[in-house]
Amino acid sequence: MNIHPVILCGGSGTRLWPMSRGGYPKQYLPLAGEHSLVQQTALRLASIPDAVAPIIVSNNEQRFIVSEQLRKVGIKPASVILEPVGRNTAPAIAVAALVALRNEPEALLLVLPSDHVILNEKAFVKAAQAAARTAADQRLITFGIEPENPHTGYGYIRRGPKLGGDSEAYSVAAFVEKPDLATAKGLLEEGGYYWNSGMFMLNAATYLEELRRYEPEVVRHAEASLDAGKHDADFVRLDEQAFAASPNISIDYAVMERTSRAAVVAGTDLGWNDIGSWSSLAEIGERDENGNTLIGDVFAEGVKNSYIRAEQRMVATIGLDNIIVVETADAVLVAHRDRTQDVKKVVEWLNASGRQESVTHRRVVRPWGSYEGIDQGDRFQVKRIIVNPGARLSLQMHHHRAEHWIVVKGTALVTNGDKEVLLGENQSTYIPLGEKHRLENPGKIPLELIEVQSGTYLGEDDIVRFEDTYGRVSA
């Protein structure tokens, strides 16, 4: 009986703005170590006996980000399921269960959010093995975290009687919604409560059986979206109409709070943190003698109990206490540590204002590489473009802009109308408005060039694609 890990890559992480953004959320960022959170989640699985290649659940916009990040750490997923729209965790896990059961009728699912930190890998493996033993007996296991403080941002699980003599699992007596502070303090004083981690070990067939019992429409639309979906390279594209018709509901509300088969395994000493805010991240960072976590090019004089992070420029701080400072290329956040949950209000304001700082960074990742805005003004824009070895952009044209390309490093193969030209360092070319064109890197090192756009409209939606390696051809 194999364990089929399911890594959920949804979520926008708005409370970790300005680093986490709609187009590049927190799970893809190296917030707590050298690897991104999704890479850490996938690498952690290697220590679990009987764990097979993971099933990834993502969306169309982020499919190449997660694929490239896993490739960089040598992990090939069993499947990458692409949700056309977000429908919460119950439908996502239902599709993953269907995929796993087609390969193994007795599959167990280890369901993991991709944006959590677990510092103690051995404790995680031990908890997973204990959960697998219980899940094999047609149980649905949730991982509980022993509470360290009366946290109001987590739901709680009340532990019931132990299941069997040598079992490390307990029945679930009750689920408790996120409490206010007084209630949370009362739960800790009473004892027998865990934080709800959002991680699960599920008997796949049992999960679908219980889901059919309580939310049959979720299973029906999950099956329909998978059967009518398309396989594209390594991706499973769910049918949009069928999946969008599914109820939008979490696994907790759909099944775990209603089934008699729920159990909880305590994740003891996991070093678990869901990084729900900058203050949460500050709690797990290394601190100096003044209680500060300083990352990047930071000067701190008379600063205490603060988290200062410089991504692009030097940041100088003087006389601060209990402050969060996060600097990126195009935005800076300064907040009191007690108010970091309100960062989402900044994102709401940016969205309401139609600004892009909540959606994209100055450096935007694409399946072929990346581009970064350097300067812009009236009728012009300058970008730094990097194309990975062997990659190429779509064959495209623009209605409103012309482009100049100057090669800084590497070799560029340029299609310009009916001509092809090979450009080396310090060479350039001009793409007239309305001309079909394509950029390709035939070399073995990254291609770096400067693009100067000029025209009446310079938005990214002024692209008509005629041919594309990555399936993005325009209608």
What gap in Å lies between CA 430 and CA 239, rounded to an integer?
41
- Domains of the chain are 3-273 (3.90.550.10), 278-346 (no CATH), 363-467 (2.60.120.10)
Q: For the chain, count helices (H), then strands (E).
A: 11, 30
- Please name the helix (run of DSSP H) or strand (run of DSSP E) that holds residue 183, with its range, or none: helix 181-190
pLDDT classification of 167: cutoffs 50, 70, 90? confident
Q: In the predicted model, what is the mean pLDDT of residues 402-412?
A: 97
**What is the bridge-based pairing of β-strands 55-59 and 79-83?**
parallel
Assess whether pLDDT exceeds 80 at residue 103: yes
* Angle CA 296–299–300, to nearest 5: 115
Instruction: Reply yes or no on whether the pLDDT at 475 is more than 60.
Output: no
Exposed / middle / buried, residue 110 (Cβ in 10 Å: 0-12, 13-18, 19+): buried
What mean pLDDT do residues 375-394 have? 95
- In this prediction, residue 61 has a pLDDT band, given cuts at 50, 70 and 90, of confident
pLDDT in tens, 326-359: 999 999 999 999 999 999 999 999 999 999 999 9
Residue range 40-67: mean pLDDT, rounded: 93
pLDDT at residue 152, rounded to an integer = 87
Give the pLDDT confidence score for residue 166 in this predicted structure. Answer: 65
- Determine the length of the chain: 475
CA 199 to CA 109: how far, in whole Å?
A: 10
Q: With bands split at pLDDT 50, 70 and 90, how would you rate the model's confidence at 474?
A: low
Taking the C-alpha atoms of residue 117 and residue 197, their distance in angstroms, rounded to an integer, is: 11
pLDDT value of residue 29: 94
* pLDDT tens digits, 296-312: 999 999 999 999 999 99
Mean pLDDT of 133-143: 93
How would DSSP label each residue in 68-132?
Answer: HHHHHTT---SEEEEESS---HHHHHHHHHHHHHHH-TT-EEEEEETT-EES-HHHHHHHHHHHH
pLDDT score recorded for residue 470: 84
Q: Are 344 and 312 in contact (CB under 8 A)?
A: no
What average pLDDT does this structure show over 423-433?
A: 97
pTM of the predicted protein model: 0.89
Mean pLDDT of the chain: 94
Q: Do 338 and 8 contact (CB within 8 A), yes or no?
A: no
CA distance 291 to 271: 19
Taking Cα atoms as reference points, which of 428, 381, 431, 385 lies closest to residue 406? 428
Q: What is the pLDDT of residue 232?
A: 79
In angstroms, rounded to a whole number, what is the distance separating the alpha carbons of residues 334 and 315?
12
Q: Give the CA distances from residue 414 to residues 197, 427, 440, 465, in Å, rounded to whole numbers and listed in that order.
A: 50, 12, 6, 16
206-241, pLDDT tens digit by residue? 999 999 999 999 999 999 999 999 987 779 999 999
